[in-house]
């Protein structure tokens, strides 16, 4: 019996199948005749197989998986020629962009070791990341523009599980991570689809209130944080299920606990500290603290991974500006679990966060009909990157600030006010 088979026996097959069904029916709401492109780590093959079953049962046209592998990734860093780190498979990303332009749905499965590259040369990691970000841009634009229905779900990879539950034996760690993923993804009960309907309705209530308020800015205050985030002109709060430009309503992230919108790229001022480590492309960046002036990060440091952080900020002009601000109560189920997942899909749903880089066009009133120039004129940011990091805790207060200076409590001590 191989180690992989041994680990998989720790994963409840019924709940794994439910997760696959939720990914297809809630995450994507895949339509009959629609093609599906899946990216996944090799370790997630059992989930990819179940997703294919549910996708074809829902009438999918063609399901095409593209796999990555930790050993293959490390081989590049150990044996690749120096020039290799400025290369990316442009042809592949061009093909993905072409698929999305033909209404192919997109599903990404995360499950790799979040610290895979933590011992590799940060300069090589940064170069490889930049080359990939630039090659991926045509595909990312279709996703960030919400042209199609897309979804991200997680699979409890063995190396990831061992990072999260370092003191446990491998099979125990995998079981614990699997159970945590199933609970956060709302597939641990008998009616996961019903659970998602109710959860989406609750998130809609929050985003509707924020949209009625039409705040000019949000003011975050807490330890190491005094930050005013101006909101883009004509911004719109989103949360839970959203309708893509192709008319399909989907849940892009499973799990999700956030309501989010677009900041104004030129109107962010003050300083802010991260409240959880950021796992970015196999590197851990911890204790981030940055200072903004007129929307731009002018100072940045981190206790760990600072070199990678500063390389990320130099990706392009938009990398030092914000593309998203999101509100998540400290009492969210993922926060309550007490687990640090080292994975943004989960950790961003444990606390309020901001994202460096590319904004989402759907976070504007009539976003689907706005041109890139109009989005930029309203304060939307453009970049090759989109990287979320956590700034919320039970010590953070947030005020909504109206254009006339009037203030409304939004969060107190990390909870909705």
pLDDT in tens, 217-248: 999 999 999 999 999 999 999 999 999 999 99
pLDDT tens track for 369-395: 999 999 999 999 999 999 999 999 999
Q: What is the DSSP string of 291-330?
A: EEETTEEEEEE-SBSHHHHHHHHTSSGGGGSEEEEEE--T
pLDDT value at residue 56: 98
pLDDT value for 283? 86
pLDDT of 287 reads 97
DSSP state of 408: E
CB-based contact 401:218 (threshold 8 Å): yes
Which residues face 388 on adjacent strands?
355
pLDDT band at 368; cut points 50, 70, 90: confident
| Average predicted confidence (pLDDT) for the chain | 95
pLDDT for residue 350: 94
pLDDT at 98 over 50: yes
Mean per-residue pLDDT for 4-17? 79
Q: Residue 345: is its pLDDT beyond 60?
A: yes
pLDDT at 120 > cutoff 60: yes
Burial class (CB in 10 A: 0-12, 13-18, 19+), 194: exposed
Half-sphere exposure of 111 toward its Cβ, with a 13 Å CA cutoff? 25
Span 21-29, average pLDDT: 98
The pLDDT, as a whole number, for residue 165 is 97
Nearest to 144 by CA among 391, 341, 389, 355: 355
pLDDT of amino acid 4: 46
Is the pLDDT at 6 greater than 50, yes or no?
no
Predicted pLDDT of residue 8: 73
Whether the per-residue pLDDT at 15 is higher than 70: the answer is: yes
Share of the chain above pLDDT 70, in %: 98
- How many angstroms separate the CA atoms of 96 and 89, rounded? 11
pLDDT of residue 10: 93
pLDDT at 291 over 70: yes
Return the half-sphere exposure (C-beta side, CA atoms, 13 A cut-off) of residue 388: 25
Query: In DSSP terms, which residues pair with 392 in a beta bridge?
Result: none
Closest C-alpha among 212, 96, 109 to residue 151: 109
pLDDT at res. 344: 86
Give the pLDDT of residue 5. Answer: 43
Domain boundaries, the chain: 3-184, 214-237+258-416
φ/ψ of residue 396, rounded to 5: -100, 130
Residue 285: is its pLDDT beyond 50?
yes
- CATH homologous superfamily of domain 3-184? Thermophilic metalloprotease (M29) (3.40.1830.10)
Mean pLDDT of 394-402: 98
Residue 212 reports pLDDT greater than 80 = yes
Decide if pLDDT at 11 tops 60. Answer: yes
CA distances from 341 to 123, 200, 230, 371 (A): 25, 23, 30, 37
Bridge partners (DSSP) listed for residue 293:
296
């Amino acid at each position: 019996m191989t180690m992989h088979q041994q680990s998989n026996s720790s994963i409840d097959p019924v709940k794994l199948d439910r997760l696959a069904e939720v990914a297809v029916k809630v995450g994507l709401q895949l339509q009959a005749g629609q093609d599906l492109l899946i990216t996944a780590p090799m370790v997630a093959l059992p989930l990819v197989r179940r997703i294919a079953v549910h996708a074809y049962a829902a009438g999918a046209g063609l399901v095409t998986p593209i796999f990555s592998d930790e050993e293959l990734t490390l081989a590049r860093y150990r044996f690749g020629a120096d020039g290799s780190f400025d290369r990316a498979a442009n042809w592949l990303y061009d093909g993905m962009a072409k698929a999305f332009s033909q209404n192919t749905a997109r599903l990404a499965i995360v499950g790799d070791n979040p610290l895979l590259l933590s011992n590799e040369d940060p300069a090589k990691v940064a170069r490889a990341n930049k080359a990939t970000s630039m090659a991926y841009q045509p595909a990312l634009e279709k996703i960030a523009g919400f042209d199609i229905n897309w979804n991200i779900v997680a699979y409890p990879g063995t190396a990831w599980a061992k990072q999260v539950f370092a003191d446990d034996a491998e099979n125990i760690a995998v079981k614990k991570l699997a159970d945590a993923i199933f609970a956060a993804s709302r597939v641990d009960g008998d009616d996961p689809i019903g659970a998602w309907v109710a959860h989406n309705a609750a998130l809609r209530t929050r985003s509707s209130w924020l949209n009625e308020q039409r705040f000019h800015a949000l003011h975050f205050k807490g330890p190491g944080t005094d930050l005013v985030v101006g909101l883009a002109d004509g911004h719109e709060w989103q949360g839970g299920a959203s309708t893509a430009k192709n008319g399909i309503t989907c849940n892009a992230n499973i799990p999700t606990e956030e309501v989010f919108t677009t900041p104004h790229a030129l109107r962010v001022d003050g300083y802010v500290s991260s409240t959880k480590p950021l796992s970015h492309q196999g590197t851990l960046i911890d204790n981030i603290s940055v200072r903004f002036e007129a929307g731009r990060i002018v100072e940045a440091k981190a206790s760990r991974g600072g070199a990678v952080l500063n390389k990320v900020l130099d990706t392009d002009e938009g990398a030092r500006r914000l593309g998203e601000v999101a509100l998540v109560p400290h009492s969210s189920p993922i926060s309550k679990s007490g687990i640090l997942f080292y994975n943004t899909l989960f950790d961003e749903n444990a606390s309020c966060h901001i994202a460096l880089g590319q904004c989402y066009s759907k976070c504007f009133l009539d976003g689907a009909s706005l041109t890139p120039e109009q989005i930029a004129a309203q304060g939307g940011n453009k970049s090759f990157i989109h990287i979320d990091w956590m700034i919320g805790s039970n010590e953070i207060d947030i005020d909504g600030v109206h254009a006339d200076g009037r203030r409304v409590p939004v969060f107190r001590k990390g909870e909705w006010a």
